[in-house]
Amino acid sequence: MSMPFYVSPEQVMADKAEFARKGISRGKSIVALEHQGGVLMMAENATKLNKIGEIYDRLAYCGVGKFSEFDQLRKVGVRFADTTGYAYSREDVRGRSLANAFSQVIGDVFTQQIKPLELEIIVAEVGDDRYEDHKANSLYRIKYDGFISDHPGFVAIGGNVEEVESVLENDYREAMPAGEAAQLGLRALSAGAERSSELDAGGLEVCLLDRERTGRKFCRLSADEVQGMLDGS
């Protein structure tokens, strides 16, 4: 029997992280930012394969990396949320527990499987004015190794995330109007985009968690609606 070479755990983890980062850095970016009327999510995505999706009444999901992997994970999230809401009540489905569940799944794959998940995700939760302790919005980012962090105000994931984040850090302010938030999102994504051509409404996927809606607060905007929002109307 041949002895396998000894590889230190540090090396294994570093190799896996390197592999996952490589997969993610090829992808385009997504930003999520709070504004006056809720949470806005914007992705550079001209395809019909959505990177932003609805999870539950007040919860949305954004994923970058390998489409099949983050879309599969989105479905796991929908199943988790719908089952929780059915077993308890709709108000019991909360962003933090969903984000923790995602973090656990991604972390388990990272440590136990040979190939880690090549993805990075955002869980966005919009506040509900009816309940004193549900009023705040939340944005969670979960990385390929299951590392979870929460980000007041804004968060970005994807390829050139440093450039995107630096624009957000400079220009983000609390309770901005939705139109301004959309313009800021576009500026941030443009800073990270590698293409020389400018980003426009047709090349964006934009979704909202709209505080004003009752029930399911998620909505997907058409290219015309995105243009209208960017024009400030």
Q: Which parts of this chain interact with another protein (CB under 8 A)?
A: 50, 53-55, 75-80, 82-83, 85-87, 101, 104-105, 108, 216
Query: b/e string for 70-109 if b means 16 or more Cβ within 10 A?
Result: bbebbeebbebbeebeeeeeeeebbbeebbbbbbebbbeb
Residue 112 CB, shortest distance to another protein, in Å, is: 9
Instruction: For another protein, give the closer residue by CB, 12 or 76.
Output: 76
User: For the residues of 113-149, what is the DSSP string, one character each?
Assistant: SSSPP-EEEEEEE---TTSGGG-S-EEEEE-TT--EE
* Nearest distance from C-beta of residue 85 to another protein, angstroms: 7
C-beta of 106: minimal distance to another protein in Å? 10
Contacts of 43 (CB under 8 A, 6+ apart): 28, 29, 30, 31, 51, 52, 62, 64, 189, 204, 205, 206
Nearer Cβ to another protein (53/65): 53
Smallest gap from residue 25 Cβ to another protein (A): 26
Nearer to another protein, 30 or 168 (CB): 30
- How far apart (Å, rounded) are the C-alpha atoms in residues 149 and 58? 19
Nearer to another protein, 41 or 156 (CB): 41
CB of 127 to another protein, least distance (A): 21
Q: In angstroms, what is the minimal distance from the CB of 86 to another protein?
A: 5
- CB-wise, 22 or 86, nearer to another protein? 86
Distance CA 25, CA 119 (A): 10
Residues near 138 by beta carbon (within 8 Å), at least 6 away in sequence: 95, 96, 123, 124, 125, 150
Comparing CB distances to another protein, the nearer of 8 and 89 is 89
| Distance in angstroms (rounded) separating the CA atoms of residues 48 and 50 | 6
